Amino acid sequence: IVDVQNQIDHELITHDEIVKKIEEVAAQASEDYKNTVPLVICVLKGAANTMTCFAQAMSINVELDYMSLSSYGAGTSSSGTITVRQDLSCDVRGRDVLIVEDIIDSGRTLRWLVDELNKRGAKSVEIFALLEKPARRVVDVDVKYKGFEIPDEFVVGFGLDYDEKYRNLDSIAVLKPQVYEGAEQ
Nearer to ligand PRP, 58 or 104 (CB): 104
Q: Based on the shown chain and the rule CB under 5 A, indicate whether residue 46 belongs to the binding site for Mn ion.
A: yes
Told to check if 162 binds ligand PRP by CB under 6 A, we report: no
Q: Which is nearer to ligand PRP, 60 or 144 (CB)?
A: 144
> Per rule CB under 6 A, is residue 161 in the interface with ligand PRP?
yes
Question: Please, are residues 136 and 58 in contact by the beta-carbon 8 Å criterion?
Answer: no
Tally the C-alpha atoms within 13 A of residue 67's C-alpha that lie toward its C-beta: 26
Give the one entry of Mg ion, Mn ion, ligand PRP, none that residue 108 binds, where binding means its C-beta sits below a cut-off of 5 to 8 angstroms depending on kind.
ligand PRP
Q: Rounded to whole angstroms, how far apart are CA atoms 149 and 53?
A: 19
Q: Which one is catalytic: 87, 91, 102, 105?
A: 105
Q: What is the DSSP letter of 173?
A: E
- Tell me how many helices (H) and strands (E) the chain has: 4, 9
State yes or no: residue 50 binds ligand PRP (CB under 6 A). Answer: no
State in angstroms the smallest separation of the CB of 37 from ligand PRP: 25
Q: Which of 25, 33, 41, 45 binds ligand PRP (CB under 6 A)?
A: 45
When computed from its CA atoms, the radius of gyration of the chain, rounded to whole angstroms, is 16
- Distance, in Å, from the CA atom of 91 to the CA atom of 39, rounded to the nearest integer, reads 10
Taking the CB of residue 95, how many other CB atoms lie within 10 A of it?
22
| 161 carries an active-site annotation | no
Q: Which residues bind ligand PRP (CB under 6 A)?
A: 43, 45-46, 70-72, 78, 101-109, 161
Q: Which residues bind Mn ion (CB under 5 A)?
A: 46
